[in-house]
Amino acid sequence: MFSNIGIPGLILILTLALIIFGPKKLPEIGKAFGQTLKEFKKSTRELTSDIADDVEMELKEIKKIEN
């Protein structure tokens, strides 16, 4: 995801964030971003699992019909 930014770009982004939000708010924003990312990944895993379960169930029903 960040492979195209590079170190100078990352330093620039962090410097701008520090200037805009200040040193007191930056850890809070980082924590909130981390929690949001964690929830997003969890939801994505659950959705993928639900879809895989549905597909598996449909395949079992198809095999039942064929026999």
Domain assignment of residue 14, yes or no: no
DSSP per-residue letters across 1-28: --TTTHHHHHHHHHHHHHHHHHHHHHHH
Q: Is residue 5 part of a domain?
A: no
Q: What is the pLDDT of residue 48?
A: 94
Please state the domain count of the chain: 1
In a domain, 2, yes or no: no
Question: For position 6, what pLDDT does the model report?
Answer: 83
Q: How high is the pLDDT of residue 1? A: 54
Instruction: Say how far apart CA 30 and CA 23 lie, in whole Å.
Output: 11
Apex 59 CA angle, 56 and 65, nearest 5:
145
Do the domain assignments include residue 11?
Answer: no
* pTM across the whole model: 0.58
What confidence score (pLDDT) does residue 2 get?
55
The range of the structural domain enclosing residue 39 comes to 23-67
- pLDDT (tens, 9 = 90+) of the chain, 67 residues, equals 556 778 888 889 889 988 998 888 988 988 999 999 999 999 999 999 999 999 999 999 988 888 7
